[in-house]
A and B are shown apart, each in its own frame.
Chain A
Amino acid sequence: MEPVIIGLVLGGMYALLAQSFVLTFVTTRTLNFAVGEFVAVGAFATLAVASWGWLPTVGKIAIGVLAAALLGALVYRFLVLPFTTQGEHDVRWLLSTVAVSFVLLNLMNNVEGPSPQRSETAKLDGAVDLLGVGVSKQQLLLAALALVISLGLIAVTQRTSIGLVMRAVSQDPDTTSLMGVSPRVVGMGSYAVAMGLAGLAGILYAANVGASPVMGEPLLVASIAVAIVGGLGSLWGPLVGGALYGVLSQVASYQWGAVWGETAGLLLVIAVLVWKPEGLLGRRAEVKL
């Protein structure tokens, strides 16, 4: 039972990051390979204001989230958008976000140093008992947030006018602009929200492992895997993928050791993709002639 519970909780954290992949993918057809660094940016920005006694904790977290969100919007506008202009085969954005990841990682390494720094801003002490398994409140918070935020995003896209616009942009950006909507603004908006989410995950995660430039890297592969397993086109995907990936990798590492945990998770990705290339909840792209 224990690995299952822990797995679900861990999966929640991956799901939060996976949600940021899905969000940028549905609106802009791009993924930000620098998400791992945005996790660290959020953590460091909050750390930088941690000593401001007058600012309540929520404010400090907000600053971290906003820093990541703002940087995300800028990265989209200047380093992603210009590399998406040559149609669906254009994957230059993929290379440019990888480059952004190199630059940010290197910069943070030089500025902050490679070793983790304690970050207590968003720390919840103690653990709760969940079906006989002790789970740290911190991790539970992350998982709960992932769930709440996912449901919130789903409600927004299905029920609101903004959501309608988002769905329209995801299907045909050019025609959306004929409807008086700027796809560029929608893209920047979704990058801001997505990277804000990554920053939030970073702030909460840093309370566990400390803030460091490479803190996001181990999360990156897992959360991309989760997003792909669930299906990049579906906001429900990360929840399903996160649960599956989290439980499987925990059970495997419980049984055979840590290396196998991750390996099992990645093999799951390959297995799912062989079976359903569009992910469990994804939509198959139709060939139109």
Chain B
Amino acid sequence: MSTVQQESATRSEGPGRRRAGGSGGSGGTGTPDRKQQVRAALRRDLLFSAAALVVAILVILPGRNGEGTSISTMQLVASMSAMVVAAVGLNLLVGYAKLVSLGQGGFYAIGAYGSAYLTLDAGWHPVLAIVGALALCGVVGAVTALATMRMRGPQFSVITLVLAVLIERILNEGNAFGRLAGYPNFAQHDTTVMEPVTFLGITFTPPMIAGEVATVMVPIVVVTAIVVILSRNIVRSPWGASLSAIGESEMLASHLGVAVFRRKVSVFVLASVLGGLGGVIAVQAFGHLQPETFDIFLTITIVLAVVFGGSGTVLGPVVGSVAIVWLEQSDLLEQVTDLQREVSDSWYLSTTGLVGVLFLLTLFLMPRGIVGTLGRSVVPRVRGAVAGRRGTTPTNEGDGGLDDVHTEDVRAPSHPTPDGVILSLRGLGKAFGGLKAVDRMDLDVEHGSIHAIIGPNGAGKSTLANLVTGVYKPSEGTATFLDRDITGQAPHLVSRAGIGRTFQTPQLFHDETVLENVLAGFPDTGRTPLWAAALKPPSRYRRDAEMHAEAERLLELVGLAHAGDLLAGELPYGKQRALEIARALAGDPSLVVLDEPAAGLLATETAGLGDLLLTLKAEGYSLVVVEHHMDLVSKVADQVTCMEQGRLLARGSAAEVLADERVVAAYLGKPFDENEHGAAPAADTTEGDDQ
């Protein structure tokens, strides 16, 4: 009834290819295409890497003979490189994890001063000193991250700003760093410039003296290029997707199997190390440090570079850094200042003020930054073209969604679960303040069954669901899943144990496409290690293609085959619910908890949802459904538990529970009539008016 076939190019592969093979190996368009996909992805990545390295080498070509005239150019390139590296690091935090750190300047300072101090005063080998300084950045970053982990928004920004200010104070007022004399200085070191680094017999000369080739530029630009390449790999990997998930909602990320706490610490440490690397580059290029250059202005300039270029894009921080550094070093801003002074000699803005104005203009005119704004105007057109080629127009009107489910696309869970009880709650309770939301509940869910939980509002149904999935820690009792104690475990552990879920209000990544939303649901989001994300081994390419095919199958399953390229936020409510189910299934769960899946659905969609749930059950999934729609409950549920005021009111088959006098009195208002096919619950406003 609900699987109405619609003729379209993409659909043709629908029914014919169901369950064509083993785990995840069959979806999409078959193996040759998969290989092609892998090859295309590999080609794109190699091209990008090659381009990055070529650009890096091209920009230092003017200094190949060490001519005096090239020194300023090389210094400019070095400043840009330092800023690029620091900004790329910051972008991971600001652009993806949406943690607006104002402390990147502090790590830049630690990297710069740390490597210089370890070389000059501690007598370490310069290369070792650099490694040591970066490690120090990582440690300080880790401590800061641990301290700020539970914070978001302004609080987080303020703390990181405080950190940057603190570091600046220490540099300005600590005697070991020569204070205003800078570092190194005559009083302490008999010189104001650091020795060039010699490593493996090569001396890396900074761009300072005419006639000497500034050999240090080679490692500087190569390192910068590598940082950009690796950061691109990271943000396009499931690891990067987990950052975006954290940025959108930590609770949601955690339900996708991401160890949010650890991942936030990792990304903060990574960003800190890159900030420090920026500082190291500055020392290597200029050989001298002045504390007043590591002020708030620096830390804000790095933020500006990210925002100006386009936060949350790969090239944004690169473009932004290059533009900002060029602007600050060119005499353009001075000319603007002079122009104003023709009008008034006291009311004018000079460099910092003009940078402030530029910042404001960016926010007003290009809130997505240069790259983001350009990308926005290009990408939709590309997407349109792709859709056109497929012979479909992405549309959010019209059909699809849960009234168009393709139950033949359901595939059994990859880890078959044993028969018998798979989820068992014993005496589970949760009190908020004095209020017992859930009071010593027992519940058993059989393998391959649908267990519905009904009850009046505030009866504790959703709280119970949240206790199982780890949103709340129970105050008492135990929860056992597949013979594992999951009582009070964090959501990511529950998710990894094989429990997926959907939410009362759909929790989606609104600014990402439908397909990307499903991709985020795969276990990879929580499990890909950072090194694998950065280095992108061949297995990653294969897995990416596999995930794509699988995601498309899941979208077809819930009737969203045409919607993959739409933004999730643009979907109507019912389809958002469908998308959530697809994402939950992507996580390869054995048990799925659905919190009011039919709320706000149309009668036809509810019917489709019912078919889908029954098919999932038949394939071996176990389902817990919190629901108000009695027609759905009576159609699908093997067992029904009715709760009231946190306690069990009645339990049994749907027919038994819905006929129970207490349930009728507390909840239904009047007995449920199975012959009444209403989308509405079995109740009506005016007595006697019904039929």
Contact = CB atoms under 8 A, between A and B. Distances in A.
Nearest to A79: B360
B153 interface: yes
A39 interface: no
Interface string A102-122: 110111001100000000000
Contacts of B307: 95
Contact of B356 (A92, A100, A111): A100
A106 B503 contact: no
Interface string B293-321: 00001001001100100000000000000
Interface in B252-306: 297, 300, 303-304
A159 interface: no
A134 interface: no
Given A31-B158, A107-B353, A263-B166, A289 B348 contact: no
B157 interface: yes
Contact of A103 (B174, B353, B595): B353
A76 interface: no
B162 A225 contact: yes
Main secondary structure of the interface of B (DSSP, over half): helix
Nearest to A282: B155
B199 interface: no
A33 B405 CA distance: 52
A88 interface: yes
Contacts of B159: 228, 269-270, 273
Contacts, number: 127
B357 A99 contact: yes
A173 to B, nearest CB: 16
A277 B347 contact: no
A253 B462 CA distance: 53
Nearest to B164: A221
A269 B159 CA distance: 8
Interface in B43-67: none
B373 interface: no
A135 interface: no
Nearest to B432: A286
Interface residues of B, number: 56
B347 A110 contact: yes
B471 A106 contact: no
Contacts of B158: 31, 224, 228
B350 A106 contact: yes
A101 interface: yes
Contact of B147 (A88, A103, A111, A273): A273
Contacts of A224: 158, 161-162
Interface string B460-473: 00100010000100
B169 interface: yes
Nearest to A89: B98
A266 B174 CA distance: 17
Nearest to A284: B150
Contacts of A269: 159, 162
A50 interface: no
A1 interface: no
A274 interface: yes
Contacts of B148: 273
A232 interface: yes
A232 B154 contact: yes
A98 interface: yes
B417 interface: no
B687 to A, nearest CB: 33
Query: Which residue among A95, A105, A225, A273 has the maximum number of chain B CB atoms within 10 Å of its CB?
Result: A95
A259 B155 contact: no
Given A111-B347, A263-B166, A101 B155 contact: no
A221 B296 CA distance: 11
Contacts of B466: 289
A224 B346 CA distance: 31
A110 B348 contact: yes
Contact of B151 (A30, A105, A277): A277
A263 B163 CA distance: 10
Contact of B353 (A92, A94, A102): A102
A83 B356 contact: no
A105 B352 contact: yes
Interface string B334-357: 000000000000111111111111
A32 to B, nearest CB: 11
B165 A98 contact: no
B157 A289 contact: no
Interface in A254-289: 259, 262-263, 266, 269-270, 273-274, 277, 287, 289
B359 A102 contact: yes
Contacts of A91: 100, 153-154, 157
B505 interface: yes
11 contacts: A94-B100, A95-B303, A101-B356, A102-B352, A103-B360, A106-B356, A110-B346, A111-B346, A228-B155, A228-B158, A273-B151
Closest 8 CB pairs of A and B: A106-B353, A102-B356, A99-B359, A103-B356, A277-B150, A99-B356, A106-B352, A111-B346
Interface of A: 25, 30-31, 79, 82-83, 88-89, 91-92, 94-96, 98-103, 105-107, 110-111, 221, 224-225, 228, 232, 259, 262-263, 266, 269-270, 273-274, 277, 287, 289
Given A103-B349, A289-B466, 8 more contacts: A25-B154, A31-B154, A102-B300, A105-B352, A228-B155, A266-B162, A287-B471, A289-B471
